[in-house]
Structure 1
Amino acid sequence: MNKKVIMLCCAGGMSTSLLVTKMQKAATKDGIEVEIFATGAASAEYDVSQRHPDVIMVGPQIRFLEKEFKEKFSMPVEVIGMHDYGTMNGEKVLKRSLELISDEATK
């Protein structure tokens, strides 16, 4: 299995950085090989073209971009649940990201 790439996107890329750390800890604990990175909305298009994520998880503060991202990019895009984002539940966001990648692979 190829290493999966998860992109988290928020207004500036700062608030999702902590979530990236929590998700990486959960992945390491579960023995999941994954690359996770955070970016700001303004850099999303560049980062997609350079790093080719398998899924884009959008911070709740920029949920208004979800439709635009779904139209622009060919991978799954989903807004991170407000509760999971607020509590920085890396394990749950990682699990959901991997589910989206898996669902896309079975299409």
Structure 2
Amino acid sequence: MKIMLCCNAGMSTSLLVQKMQKEAASRGQDVTIEARPMNEAMDHIDEADVILLGPQIGYAKGDFEKAVNGRCPVTVIPMVDYGRMNAPKILDDIAALLG
């Protein structure tokens, strides 16, 4: 599974990616996670199985949903989980999203 995290510039999100990769590895999950700035993300949208948006760009959710056209889920990371870099909770949310 490939997860793409999108944010404004990619600084705080890259730290979150590291935490999520470590958590996924500890769970034995085969997951690729990458962070991309929003202006670059649309060029790589077809590569992702799940798209996570940082809360600061939650306003763009509709644009991303339109771009993926139902091919994969798009969700906004809750502010509290993003702020706390709560990788376990974010991965749990993805699992619930994928059913």
TM-score normalized with structure 1 length: 0.85
Contact 1:6 1:97 in 2 (8 A): no
CA RMSD across the alignment: 1.1
In structure 2, the residue matched to 1:65 is 60
Unaligned runs of 5+ in 1: none
**In structure 2, how many angstroms separate the alpha carbons of the residues matched to 1:54 and 1:97?**
11
Unaligned runs of 5+ in 2: none
Q: Displacement, 1:75?
A: 1.3
**In structure 2, how many angstroms separate the alpha carbons of the residues matched to 1:37 and 1:59?**
13
In structure 2, the residue matched to 1:47 is 44
**In structure 2, how many angstroms separate the alpha carbons of the residues matched to 1:11 and 1:32?**
27
Spell out the pairing of 1:1-107 with structure 2 (5 A cutoff).
Answer: 4-49=1-46, 52-73=47-68, 74-100=71-97, 102-103=98-99
Percent identity, please: 45
